[in-house]
Structure 1
């Protein structure tokens, strides 16, 4: 995978800190304080129990260092890198109590985000040899959007808008409330900033024809169309607008959708249905 720039740690720290506070509760790690003698030192390793693509290594590192800045954390498999079952991803050396107190939060993030990166990579593989890019949606876990979208990048995918404030995306309900495709595009042309990109969703080719005739959009989202209709939409549009296919994008279907010539395929399942990769921490 292509290396992606990391977020500054200070942006991620509040997210990780909140997770640690949730896990440590009011009194800290009661089990560890009870049974581990102070001063006990160990080397621990985060080990992959299955193969995949790494994401969340930076977040896991922050978790250990927030609990104990004296811990020595060495990332062996960086975010965006493939690994095999049995590989050591991270080594942590220092106070055993500190390692154990951060363990679950670090593994929760690393497993969840690596699961997203791994699933994204599987979808991306299906688009090889085409122009299509796999992109995520806003169907993310509340509070985790930033790191989940970063995990999509680690898997070789691309990001759609981060929030409602990033761009104008006119969906079917907007069209219904505004009175149709033409009125909604006319409103955009009259009111939207020239700095904002505009995407509009269409459900059938008659709506696409209206968009092409009216203008005012940069991207058209082709929603829940079968593959022959997607190919027809590409032929209708040429290179006048960017086309994004969306809806019912199963892994088994992505290759044929990519072959139609669309530029983007948005897949909510990258984030809302990704499994957690099995990672473990061993002393």
Structure 2
């Protein structure tokens, strides 16, 4: 597990290290101990498991006092020990991953906790290349829904597919032949008429894209009355200021790109014990 991500992080570390870290070179035969310090309160921590595996690649021992998904306040969250040179070249990547993942999980948790009802808050595919799985894992640690992990996890027909296939019905009928019983078909629509056309053609999920909250609720209500089995998702133009306007008994999923694209980093530091 995390094999690809660990290879990626190691590659970044080795490129950063280049031939060697000049400032740390004389410490290559020295062992040391360091404390990882969380400098913010009210944090849903994320990134511990991946960091433990990364540190292990450099023979650095670690002991963390919290696990992914825990609510934590500022203080020492863990201790590491090993070769001083290795600890110093790993330090920045380690702290960056903890900072990013904890920021996403904390933001997700804060937003999810304000939802009163069955509607779920989900991420989107607006994630950084290579880091996407870690960002989505952080959403999961924060209590959100990950949405698709990759393109093949579900069959999602978007506006450009509809244009290239020559319409909603053609798009649905063409991709149906690739559908397994384990896969759902989702389609993105921009108006109520297209939503009902998609429902008529037996899709599993309808995404109401860039609907106002009032229009989304009304369209979702009509769809659920006739097609109660269809999952209704809303997306587009949704942020932390307006997402609660979309919470409704007929809306199953609110997906928000800003869960991963607009986050305030959580502050971590490493302090070496002398």
Is TM more than 0.5 here?
yes
1:62 aligns with 2:50: no
Unpaired stretches in structure 2, ≥5 consecutive residues: none
Name the CA distance, whole Å, in 1 between partners of 2:117 and 2:172: 30
SS in structure 2 at match of 1:147: helix
2:119, 2:249 within 8 Å by CA — same for their partners in 1?
no
Name the CA distance, whole Å, in 1 between partners of 2:257 and 2:28: 47
1:60, 1:107 within 8 Å by CA — same for their partners in 2?
no
1:251 aligns with 2:244: no
Name the CA distance, whole Å, in 2 between partners of 1:56 and 1:204: 40
Q: 1:183 to 1:98 in 2, by over 3 A?
A: closer
For residue 146 of structure 1, the aligned residue among 115, 133, 153 is 133
1:20, 1:63 within 8 Å by CA — same for their partners in 2?
no
Shift of 1:16: 2.5
Q: 1:75 to 1:46 in 2, by over 3 A?
A: same
Name the CA distance, whole Å, in 2 between partners of 1:48 and 1:191: 47
Shift of 1:53: 1.2
SS in structure 2 at match of 1:142: coil
Shift of 1:105: 1.3
> Where does residue 24 of structure 2 map in the other structure?
32
Q: 1:219 to 1:95 in 2, by over 3 A?
A: same
1:237 aligns with 2:230: no
Residues 124-149 of structure 1: CA deviation (Å, up to 9, x unaligned): 1222x211111111111111112111
Q: 1:209 to 1:168 in 2, by over 3 A?
A: same
1:189, 1:216 within 8 Å by CA — same for their partners in 2?
no
1:119 aligns with 2:107: yes
> Where does residue 107 of structure 1 map in the other structure?
95
1:46 aligns with 2:36: yes
Unpaired stretches in structure 1, ≥5 consecutive residues: 1-7
For residue 172 of structure 1, the aligned residue among 130, 150, 159 is 159
Residues 216-241 of structure 1: CA deviation (Å, up to 9, x unaligned): 21000010101111111221121230
The alignment's TM-score, normalised by the length of structure 2, stands at 0.90
How many equivalent residue pairs?
268
SS in structure 2 at match of 1:280: strand
Name the CA distance, whole Å, in 2 between partners of 1:229 and 1:237: 12
> Where does residue 217 of structure 1 map in the other structure?
203
Name the CA distance, whole Å, in 2 between partners of 1:62 and 1:194: 35
For residue 68 of structure 2, the aligned residue among 79, 94, 97 is 79
Name the CA distance, whole Å, in 2 between partners of 1:229 and 1:96: 59
Shift of 1:109: 1.0
RMSD: 1.9
1:274 aligns with 2:263: yes
